[in-house]
Amino acid sequence: MPDPLLDPSYRALLGVPTLGRILVAMQLARIAQSMVSVALVLFTLEEYQSAALAGFVTFVSIFPGLVVSPIAGALLDRHGRTRLILLDYVVELCALVLIGGLALVDALPAGILLLIATASSFTAILSHTGLRSLFPILVPKPLWERVNAVDSNGYVVATIIGPPLAAGLVAFLGGATALICIAFGFGLAAIAMIGVPDPPAETASTGRLMADAWQGVIYWWRNPTLRGLGFAITVANLGWGMLTIAIPLIVLNVLGAGELAVGLVFALLGVSGMASAFIFGRVDSRGREWQMLVFPMLGTVPAIALMLPAAAGAAGVIGGALDPSQSIVVGFAFLASSVLLAGFLNGPVDIAMFTVRQRRTDPAWMGRAFAVSMAANLMGFPIGAADGGALSGVSLPGTVLLAAVAALGGALLAALMVPRHDPAGSN
């Protein structure tokens, strides 16, 4: 293995023991997760013809797991990460097969769908936090920017591959069969994780699960960086949650395209995000985290606003002097420009957020602190999705505008609440 002190490169990551298998499992699972996020929305719209229900299904598939994140973090610190990551993949597999199977035999009322989605959410935080807290334990500090770029690109690669594939499966096989197919992605991820050992890690524990969980919340609150990220990112994610519902509706109802076009729009988000993450993953972020976080978040505001003409197409804002076919082309141009710019700006935000959280968290607290921090960061997404489902039925342009306002609020909170330098002096 190249010495990371002499060669802090992507090539040096290949020599980190067990990291390769973990990254394979991570990528398989994230592709499946990105497919689920699109397929569930399209499946619900197809089966129940309700944007509000689609938003609420997204909400219950995420939010309950975030609520129990302190307990999940304590479990990760006490019982190891790899086996709990594996548990989540198996639960996701079973949940999707159950939803798809019941739908195929016309035995899936909306209440049962919501119940299954809620149950599966409780383990999702285990894999998200377990993987994220494994990296700083396994990987030497000089390689943290590199592994965080790979981590960030794990999401964007999933965004490139997953949504178009999910949309294609829904279009050609139907939503129920598509969900069953996606379940096998989690099965492959579980197989990749079998036998991966847990790395030795220092843990601060009281020996009592609930006490450990509560201490994780206290640690997060008293850490100004983690607390600032929690407020800033969750407000910004309110907007992304709204757009998860609004974008499919813009493509399907305003621009008149099919499910496959929905996946392609989300793929554009991933393509630009991947390029950005690799570029900024080469940058030494020490002392620059605040700038890499705040300025791109501010840039996301006009990026989202570019979506407004596409959302308003049905009201004639794009039309007027244009015939319907020209209006659709212009609408797609605005929508594509919006997601390409937003994806590119997300790269430095992810690198800065992941790295500053690692640098400013005591290793003994990484399981609990990361679980609470990630839950706080993500809390806005399911709330935004639920709101987006309800608001989109009233006004799609209004939903997009509120998403831009949320992005602005998140950027301002990041500027005001995230310390420019490590208060503990370890940066």
Q: What is the largest CA-CA distance in the chain?
A: 70
pLDDT band at 204 (very low <50, low <70, confident <90, very high): low
In a domain, 69, yes or no: yes
Residue, of 231 and 208, whose pLDDT is higher: 231
Contact 131, 370 (CB under 8 A): no
pLDDT per position as a tens digit, 294-353: 999 999 999 999 999 888 874 454 445 555 566 677 888 899 999 999 989 988 888 888
Domain count of the chain? 1
In a domain, 427, yes or no: no
- State the residue range of the domain holding 240: 10-417
In a domain, 423, yes or no: no
What's the CA gap between 84 and 120, in Å, rounded?
14
Contact 334, 309 (CB under 8 A): yes
Nearest to 349 by CA among 415, 404, 405: 415
What's the CA gap between 91 and 98, in Å, rounded?
11
Total residues found in the chain within this entry: 427
Contact 371, 128 (CB under 8 A): no
pLDDT per position as a tens digit, 61-76: 988 888 888 887 777 7
Residue with tokens 């990026």: 303
In a domain, 409, yes or no: yes
In a domain, 99, yes or no: yes
What's the CA gap between 194 and 292, in Å, rounded?
37
pLDDT of res. 374: 80
Nearest to 345 by CA among 391, 400, 402, 299: 299
Contact 232, 419 (CB under 8 A): no
In a domain, 84, yes or no: yes
Helix, strand, coil share of the chain (percent; to 5): 80, 0, 20
| Averaged pLDDT of the chain | 83
**pLDDT of 5 strictly over 50:** no
What's the CATH code of the domain at 210? 1.20.1250.20
Judge residue 94's burial from the number of C-beta atoms within 10 Å of its C-beta, 0-12 exposed, 13-18 middle, 19 or more buried.
Answer: middle
Q: Is 312 helix (H, G, I), strand (E, B) or coil?
A: coil
Helices 69-79 and 209-222, interaxial angle, to 10°?
A: 110
In DSSP notation, 37-102 reads HHHHHHHHHHHH--HHHHHHHHHHTTHHHHHTHHHHHHHHHHH-SHHHHHHHHHHHHHHHHHHHHH
pLDDT of res. 10: 64
In a domain, 425, yes or no: no
Contact 407, 300 (CB under 8 A): yes
pLDDT of res. 313: 73
C-alpha dist (Å) from residue 114 to 29, 58, 111, 183: 22, 9, 5, 17
Across the chain, how many H-helices and E-strands are there? 18, 0
pLDDT per position as a tens digit, 377-417: 888 889 998 888 888 888 889 999 999 999 999 999 999 99
In a domain, 4, yes or no: no
